[in-house]
Amino acid sequence: MTEPGDPADERAATNAGPVGGRTEREPGPGSVPVRDAATVVLLRDSDRGPEAFLLRRVRGMAFAAGMTVFPGGAVDPRDADTALDWVGPPVTEWTAPFDADEGLARALLCAAVRETFEESGVLLAGPSADEVTATDGPGWEADRVGLERRDFSLAELLARRGLQLRADLLRAWAHWITPPQESVRRRYDTRFFVAALPAGQQTREVTSEADVVEWVRPADALDQHGRGDRPMMPPTIVTLEEIADYGSVADVLAAGRSPARIQPTVSTVDGRPAVTLPNGRVLRLAQP
């Protein structure tokens, strides 16, 4: 099983490496290495409740092709740069929620902010603890493309722009691990964050990795999935179900979750691939 909200691109294969003293984890001989990754559920309020920013991966992608996902991707070694200016809870407060050491926790937060900017144009950073930068001025699209191409790191971009990473705008939400199976070419240990769309910023259709980007109420996205119109993988389905229970973005951010690791097991139900979650729930895997 692959996981939406994880990296869906070829560059994920080149990003993995030592992060915070850790390397790719090889679960066994002949198995696919597990890469650390971060996903951000970007939310905004509407008159009918929270909406989530969703992308549909282009069908030519090597990972999650044709699937609806959240912005996200693999941790890059430079995401662990300790020179990164930081606002909000210190790194030590992110280690327990995501079962990570300080180096990996820093890298996960950085990857979450970087991938959100790369895939939506939204940057969770500002010149101070009370401000969030605008990203519609001269040069911002060139900076986004340069970051996506790995011309420079997020820490380098923020330093040049005089900005600080706003860790206070993110909350821990979930922790999913791709289970091993023969058909999977990439596996990820993915930490899910939630964040509100900052005032003064707008999402843009910027990434070449998606052919549709849109704001959708979780309940509507789930209805579309149920009708077969929106293929999604279990982490996306479960996350949208959880968020659909909240009446506002503020309520989501105030939830105070302590994520437990979820690694489904793969099976076949009526001849179709499915996964079983730790709570016993069985979800059939959608085909794009």
Rounded average pLDDT over 31-51: 94
**Beta strands 72-74 and 164-166: pairing type?**
unpaired
Residue 193 identity (one-letter amino acid) = F
Q: Looking at residue 204, what is its pLDDT? A: 87
- The tokens describing 109, both together, are 């937060």
Residue 209 backbone dihedrals phi, psi, to 5 degrees:
-85, -5
Rounded average pLDDT over 208-212: 67
Q: Looking at residue 18, what is its pLDDT? A: 35
- Among 27-41, 52-66, 171-185, 215-229, the range scoring the smallest mean pLDDT is 52-66
Is the pLDDT assigned to residue 60 strictly greater than 90? Answer: no
The per-residue DSSP string of 216-266 comes to: E-HHHHHHHHHTTSS---HHHHHHHHHHHT-SSHHHHHTS---PPEE--EE
Rounded average pLDDT over 51-78: 81
Confidence of residue 163 (pLDDT cuts 50, 70, 90): very high
Q: How far apart are the first and last CA of the chain?
A: 13
8 Å CB contact between 240 and 52: yes
Q: Looking at residue 107, what is its pLDDT? A: 97
Q: Tokens 């101070």: give the residue.
A: 128
8 Å CB contact between 34 and 104: no
Q: Tokens 């791709």: give the residue.
A: 178
8 Å CB contact between 54 and 72: no
* Alpha carbon distance 238, 196 (integer Å): 19
Rg (CA), the chain: 18
8 Å CB contact between 33 and 16: yes
Is the pLDDT assigned to residue 103 strictly greater than 50? Answer: yes
Q: Tokens 């489904």: give the residue.
A: 264
Q: Tokens 């970087």: give the residue.
A: 114
Rounded average pLDDT over 233-259: 95
Q: Looking at residue 269, what is its pLDDT? A: 81
* Alpha carbon distance 230, 122 (integer Å): 24
Is the pLDDT assigned to residue 6 strictly greater than 50? Answer: no
Which residues are CB-neighbours of 118 under 8 A, at least 6 positions away? 71, 73, 144, 147, 148, 206, 207
Residue 144 identity (one-letter amino acid) = R
Q: Looking at residue 209, what is its pLDDT? A: 62
Which of helix, strand or coil describes residue 120? helix
Burial code (b: 16+ CB inside 10 Å, e: under 16) for 131-162 equals: ebbebeeeebeebbeebbeeeebbbbbbbebe
Is the pLDDT assigned to residue 20 strictly greater than 80? Answer: no
